[in-house]
């Protein structure tokens, strides 16, 4: 999901930010993805207002977080797991059940998005949605139309999974996200099957679809932004928050390309990053204060302006910069959101099979 994109800049070591404040109300230890870091100034403002000493550590992978949580001694008060890991972590009993009375800004959360999260966290008992996004396609329409013809349809997964189409796009560059857990569910949806299938044969069939286009895939990459913005790749499977970034980087480089982010109807995957309080959190009251602060409309707008992903506080859209607020990639309609499928956690045997098939696919190059 998007967590792979957000991890690409993560440090391999812990980066700790401590607000130089009186410790009157104790500490707060936060483990977060690097691209979510909203800046020392915003953190300091919260710390000063609450009299809390804040320590930030940078998360590199969901597996790292899971290992810390399962140890029972994570040492953190607020963590940011991806939705595909979160459900399994709930089952393992590593999170504190939320006392929503301590999060009055809950009223700012979008009901539709809360229902989507509830499919993995029944009753929204353990997680608070932070940011979210989709898996889709970024298309350099300038180059793609040159390869396919000016009247070519640029609105579906045929751009990546139909051999006769991908063969033509190969001339201007085709990129797939280097993540089996992103690609296989999308291929299954494209085939008209359950994107969260538990049937091994479905994944084998999806592999055959991918094998047919493998000769035309120019790269497997989760760090595709500059390749697309610079015109080296004209079609790329991508995470929604990267689409706007690609457009901005292309403009900064004075590239005269037009870009489109495509979310194929009924075949677009939705993911969340959530905020959770570990059961062993030493400063639970401060964790609630932090989460509530993140749900403030003004703060939510600042988050989107900084990291270009939408939060679950959709009322913040009116305070977001006009360029971002008017971008349907960042703020899709409720009708569009209703049509997204939700990436579900994978069973170990399916994950193992998918990883094996993915490595085989890449090796065929």
Q: What is the pTM (predicted TM-score) of this model?
A: 0.83
The reply to whether 134-268+344-363 shares the fold of 2-126+271-331 is yes
CA distance 43 to 353: 42
| % residues pLDDT > 90 (the chain) | 65
- Is residue 304 over pLDDT 80? yes
Segment 318-339 shows an average pLDDT of 91
Cα–Cα nearest to 129, from 310, 346, 307, 286:
310
- Tell me the mean pLDDT in the region 131-140: 95
- H/E stretch holding 59 reads strand 53-59
Closest to 2 (Cα-Cα) out of 120, 131, 128: 131
Give dist(CA 234, CA 219) in Å, integer.
12
Q: For residue 58, list its beta bridge partners.
A: 32
Cα 281 to chain centroid distance, Å, stands at 25
Task: Give the number of other Cβ atoms within 10 Å of residue 338's Cβ.
Answer: 11
Q: Which of 27-36, 92-101, 257-266 has the lowest mean pLDDT?
A: 27-36
Distance CA 302, CA 316 (A): 9
DSSP 25: T
* Mean pLDDT, residues 316-341: 91
The whole-number pLDDT of residue 264 equals 95
pLDDT at 59: 82
Which residue did the predictor score with more confidence, 45 or 168? 168
Angle at 251 between CA 246 and CA 253, to 5 degrees: 95
Q: Which two tokens stand for residue 161?
A: 């999974």
Q: How far apart are CA 116 and CA 244, in angstroms?
A: 24
pLDDT the model gives residue 222: 85
Q: What's the CA gap between 158 and 152, in Å, rounded?
A: 11
- How many residues in total does the chain contain? 365
Place of tokens 């970034």: 245
Q: Which of 33-42, 50-59, 140-149, 346-355 has the lowest mean pLDDT?
A: 33-42
35 contact partners, CB below 8 Å, separation of at least 6: 5, 6, 8, 9, 10, 307
pLDDT of residue 35: 67
Q: What is the predicted pLDDT for the residue at 2?
A: 59
pLDDT level of residue 73 (50, 70, 90 thresholds): confident
Average pLDDT, the chain: 89
Topology annotation, domain 134-268+344-363? D-Maltodextrin-Binding Protein; domain 2 (3.40.190)
In this prediction, residues 203-227 reach a mean pLDDT of 96
Which secondary structure element, helix H or strand E, spans residue 287, and what is its range?
helix 284-294
Distance CA 198, CA 357 (A): 15
Highest mean pLDDT among 211-215, 330-334, 335-339: 211-215
Mean pLDDT, range 269-278, rounded to an integer: 94
Confidence at residue 37, expressed as pLDDT on a 0 to 100 scale: 65
Query: What are the pLDDT digits (tens) for 7-39?
Result: 443 332 233 344 433 344 789 999 888 766 666
What secondary structure letter does DSSP report for 130?
A: E
> How do the domains of the chain map onto residue ranges?
2-126+271-331, 134-268+344-363
Nearest to 229 by CA among 201, 206, 255: 255
Q: Is the per-residue pLDDT at 166 higher than 50?
A: yes
Cβ proximity of 46 and 290 under 8 Å:
yes
Q: Could you tell me the CA-to-CA distances from 194 to 27, 185, 190, 264 in Å, in that order?
A: 45, 8, 10, 15
The values of phi and psi at residue 57, to 5°, are -120, 145
Contact 336, 113 (CB under 8 A): no
Query: Greater confidence, 205 or 1?
Result: 205
pLDDT at 74: 87
By CB atoms closer than 10 A (0-12, 13-18, 19+), residue 326 is: exposed
Report the CATH fold assignment for 2-126+271-331: D-Maltodextrin-Binding Protein; domain 2 (3.40.190)
Amino acid 12: pLDDT: 29
Say if residue 136's pLDDT is above 70: yes
* pLDDT for residue 253 is more than 70: yes
Model confidence at 63, pLDDT cuts 50, 70, 90, reads confident
For the chain, the farthest-separated pair of C-alpha atoms sits apart, in whole angstroms, at: 66
Of all helices (H) and strands (E), which one includes residue 82?
A: none
Residue 55's pLDDT is: 87
pLDDT score recorded for residue 64:
84
C-alpha–C-alpha distance, residues 79 and 3, integer Å: 13
Residue 58 confidence (pLDDT) above 70 = yes
Residue 103: predicted pLDDT: 98
């Amino acid at each position: 999901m998007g967590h792979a994109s957000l991890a690409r800049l993560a440090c391999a070591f812990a980066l700790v930010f401590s607000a130089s404040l009186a410790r009157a109300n104790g500490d707060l230890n936060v483990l977060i993805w690097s691209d979510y870091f909203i800046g020392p100034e915003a953190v300091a403002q919260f710390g000063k207002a609450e009299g809390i000493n804040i320590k930030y550590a940078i998360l590199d992978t969901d597996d790292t977080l899971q290992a810390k949580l399962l140890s029972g001694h994570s040492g953190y008060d607020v963590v940011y797991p991806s939705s595909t890991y979160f459900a399994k972590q709930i089952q393992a009993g590593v999170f504190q059940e939320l006392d929503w009375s301590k999060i009055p800004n809950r009223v700012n959360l979008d009901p539709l998005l809360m229902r989507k999260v509830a499919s993995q966290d029944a009753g929204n008992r353990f997680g608070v949605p932070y940011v979210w996004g989709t898996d889709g396609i970024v298309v350099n329409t300038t180059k793609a139309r040159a390869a396919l013809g000016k009247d070519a349809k640029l609105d579906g997964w045929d751009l990546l999974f139909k051999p006769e189409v991908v063969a033509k796009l190969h001339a201007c560059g085709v990129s797939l996200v280097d993540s089996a857990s992103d690609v296989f569910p999308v291929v299954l949806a494209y085939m008209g099957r359950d994107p969260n299938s538990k049937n091994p044969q479905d994944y084998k069939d999806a592999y055959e679809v991918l094998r047919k286009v493998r000769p035309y895939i120019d790269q497997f990459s989760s760090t595709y932004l500059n390749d697309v913005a610079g015109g080296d790749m004209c079609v790329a499977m991508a995470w929604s928050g990267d689409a706007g970034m690609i457009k901005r980087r292309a403009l900064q480089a004075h590239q005269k390309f037009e870009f489109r982010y495509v979310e194929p109807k009924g075949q677009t995957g939705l993911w969340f990053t959530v905020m959770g309080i570990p059961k062993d959190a030493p400063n639970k009251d401060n964790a609630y204060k932090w989460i509530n602060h993140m749900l403030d409309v003004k703060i939510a707008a600042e988050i989107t302006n900084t990291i270009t992903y939408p939060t679950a506080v959709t009322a913040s859209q009116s305070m977001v910069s006009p360029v971002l607020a008017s971008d349907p990639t960042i703020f899709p309609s409720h009708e569009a959101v209703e049509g997204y499928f939700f990436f579900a956690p994978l069973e170990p045997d399916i994950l193992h099979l998918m990883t094996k098939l993915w490595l085989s696919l890449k090796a065929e190059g």
